[in-house]
Structure 1
């Protein structure tokens, strides 16, 4: 279970929406989602999400990112850290840790440094001790961080049915977009995921995106099947600020 969950967590960060059949109805509901459901979509003070995305600042910035991966209704893996965006390539530091629901013999914790040309990963134990760094080089065929703004635009292109209105999520107001995307829609937006979907015979997947009035994605959700397991990823972004320095470990 832990291995599958770790793979699913990597899918959402590395390739955006995951490659798998949709089972949205069976996905767990978070507290923030329940709060958002009580909001009134399409209220008069809703900002124009299309304009917000178009006018989003393209200057480099960093954000805290947290991904929770659920298998069935159980939280299994948490990935968290700070990432730099809008640069020549996404960089940052992340930890990937199994939750208490994972059996002890499957539990793990890792730390990763992402650079423009390589990633460095090491294991962590319960006492805080760390293993040796392992370097993996990147090339043109390597996966990259998803452009969540591009996914928001794909949902906008679905028309009025994708526009769910303004909601509160994570303490901020954001506009929620929701729908299913197909292989063909990803052809020019996320070629790696497009190729993966073709290889696995996946025709479409469901995802939701929440965009704030500055045109930044603050929440992203996906529903997928992987290795026969129904899964849901919840990604949140916050505490936006200037880029942070990231370098290879010594």
Structure 2
């Protein structure tokens, strides 16, 4: 399980820093719908998304996050926990678990602590027993984004075609932005994702971002192709609050 714990740490870092993690899990289908069950494509109270993003509180904050990665149409891995965002880099604590259909030799059940310069991961057993913490460093020269609103702003730069109007997400209004982002667009704002896209031979990916009235991203979805396999990532954010303390394990 030692290698799997390291892989789990890498998945957590890439999904939560860049919204791109399916490249690490290549054997599992992308749902055709571009909105999940918690998104209601029904007109909600309209608001100006550009103004909401501009007026968003710039202070660091935390959010409860759930991330699901699919390969083809099969759920491969689920992550859940609380993350600090809008700081110098995302930090937080997450659990990672592969779907029940994953081959036994590829199964992952772990918890990860994500710091600015490293991740610490240990495996979990079904009975709650835990393994030893393993540290994996992060390359600060290729730092990822600190907040998902970066993707919302990149989509706004695509013009009116990216604005899909107001929808309800978990019972509250959110403006959906949709479009495709390229390597060149990401070069200056998310070097880590830019480098990963280059290494995977991925020129662009489609994504949708839902922004609430406070300028916070409450949902992020991404579609891309990795090694000929369709991948789909879904990230949900809610219960926003003050940053939480995150430290390396003793």
Regarding TM over 0.5, the answer is: yes
Cross-structure match for 1:148: 148
Cross-structure match for 1:187: 187
- Are the counterparts in 1 of residues 142 and 191 from structure 2 also a CA contact under 8 Å? no
Cross-structure match for 1:15: 18
Helix, strand or coil: the match of 1:33?
coil
Cross-structure match for 1:246: 246
User: What's the offset of the Cα at 1:110?
Assistant: 1.1
What do the CA deviations read for 1:130-179 (whole angstroms, capped 9, x no partner)? Answer: 11111223342355455311110010111111000000122321000000
Comparing 173-182 and 81-90, the one that deviates more: 81-90
Choose from 17, 25, 39 the match for 2:42.
39
- TM-score, normalised to structure 1, is 0.85
User: What's the offset of the Cα at 1:16?
Assistant: 2.8
User: What's the offset of the Cα at 1:46?
Assistant: 0.8
Between the aligned partners of 1:18 and 1:235, the Cα distance in structure 2 is 11
Q: Residues 108-187 of structure 1: matches in 2 within 5 Å?
A: 108-141=108-141, 143-144=143-144, 147-187=147-187
Q: Cα gap change, 1:136/1:106 in structure 2, threshold over 3 Å: closer, same or farther?
A: closer
- Are the counterparts in 2 of residues 9 and 77 from structure 1 also a CA contact under 8 Å? no
Q: Cα gap change, 1:209/1:126 in structure 2, threshold over 3 Å: closer, same or farther?
A: same
Helix, strand or coil: the match of 2:140?
coil
Q: Cα gap change, 1:242/1:195 in structure 2, threshold over 3 Å: closer, same or farther?
A: same
Q: Cα gap change, 1:75/1:185 in structure 2, threshold over 3 Å: closer, same or farther?
A: same
Where in structure 1 are there 5+ consecutive unaligned residues?
Answer: 21-25
Between the aligned partners of 2:11 and 2:129, the Cα distance in structure 1 is 26
Q: Cα gap change, 1:8/1:233 in structure 2, threshold over 3 Å: closer, same or farther?
A: farther
Cross-structure match for 1:23: none
Helix, strand or coil: the match of 2:158?
coil
Cross-structure match for 1:196: 196
Cross-structure match for 1:211: 211
- Are the counterparts in 2 of residues 183 and 204 from structure 1 also a CA contact under 8 Å? yes
Where in structure 2 are there 5+ consecutive unaligned residues?
Answer: 24-28
- Are the counterparts in 1 of residues 93 and 112 from structure 2 also a CA contact under 8 Å? yes
User: What's the offset of the Cα at 1:126?
Assistant: 1.1
- Are the counterparts in 2 of residues 69 and 231 from structure 1 also a CA contact under 8 Å? yes
Cross-structure match for 2:30: 27
- Are the counterparts in 2 of residues 77 and 99 from structure 1 also a CA contact under 8 Å? yes
Higher relative contact order (CA 8 A, sep 6+): 1
Helix, strand or coil: the match of 2:195?
helix
The RMSD of aligned alpha carbons is 2.6
